[in-house]
Amino acid sequence: MPELPEVEAWRATMERWLVGRSIAAVHLVDSAVIRPKLSTRPSDGWDQAQSWASSLVGSSVKGTARVGKRMGLQLGEGWVLVHLGMTGRFVRDPEPPRFARIGLDVGDHVVWFADQRRFGCLVPLQGRDALCVGLGPDALDAALDGEGLAAALPGRRAVKTALLDQARIAGLGNIHAAEALWRAGIAPATPCATLDALGWRSLAAAIREQLAEAVEAIPPGEDFVYVTEGGDNPFAVYGREGEPCPRCAEAITRVVQGGRSTFWCPGCQRPGGVAVQG
């Protein structure tokens, strides 16, 4: 599932492809892609989808935004939230690609939202602030320090599980949470309440570094696939069960937390929150 770096890459791509252009036509292939609320169910499609799509013709694309894993487009005076789901992506092509759901024609090209599994959606909003509803501070843009991160993640939950709570901190997913914890040298099962000030500072810095480097690594205008079978794996611990840790050579271990696979190194990720310098 796309995490913050992929959404940020698509936001930057939409900035180049759409902002400053006027919408000449809207091609609504699958009306269920327009939903009155954020939902992964096509059955929640909006009965006014067609009229809303028609109302966009003649409006200009004025800007883009991203909060956590959510992307926003300013179309005329309104905003639309774009949720990529698991397989949502954008394609610039005159003809609809496979799994096309909606296309924005801006004259010299058409930008299509394609989504094989149909979990993704577009949600009309009254304003940009609606993008933030239900979300904690952005994991990258908020630039939380150790004290701020500790305040956002109180309690005794395992730190890896807490990092995935979008209401506490927005944008981290399973992969980058595991990678940030490895960078900080913190065991994923460590209860938040037991992390000391050094641990929180190290983790806050690791999150910023992990996300910033991941954003930088994505080629402009291209899809980015995390790890495919037989393909390259760009991560230090994710998907590397049994392989030597690149920092201490201990075998990487996989455990399940909250129904998700967590990869970590028992050799250099400490339960007490003692950061390891790599």
The DSSP secondary structure of 59-99, one letter per residue, reads -BEEEEEEETTEEEEEETTEEEEEE-TTTEEEEE-SS--TT
| Residue-level pLDDT at 232 | 80
Give the fold, CATH level 3, of 146-264: Helicase, Ruva Protein; domain 3 (1.10.8)
When pLDDT is cut at 50, 70 and 90, the band that residue 271 belongs to is confident
> Is 69 one of the annotated active-site residues of the chain?
yes
Residue in 2, 5, 42, 124 annotated catalytic? 2
When pLDDT is cut at 50, 70 and 90, the band that residue 277 belongs to is very low
Note the Cα 70 to chain centre separation in Å: 7
Q: What is the pTM of this model?
A: 0.92
Residue in 69, 70, 157, 247 annotated catalytic? 69
252-269 tens-digit pLDDT? 999 999 999 999 999 999
Note the Cα 173 to chain centre separation in Å: 7
Polymer length of the chain: 278
> Is 3 one of the annotated active-site residues of the chain?
yes
CA distance 157 to 159: 6
> Is 117 one of the annotated active-site residues of the chain?
no
When pLDDT is cut at 50, 70 and 90, the band that residue 230 belongs to is low
Using alpha carbons only, what angle is made at residue 94 by residues 92 and 96, rounded to the nearest 5 degrees?
Answer: 80
53-105 tens-digit pLDDT? 999 999 999 999 999 999 999 999 999 999 999 999 999 999 999 999 999 99
**Domain residue spans in the chain?**
4-132, 146-264
> Is 260 one of the annotated active-site residues of the chain?
yes
Residue in 21, 62, 260, 270 annotated catalytic? 260
Give the fold, CATH level 3, of 4-132: N-terminal domain of MutM-like DNA repair proteins (3.20.190)
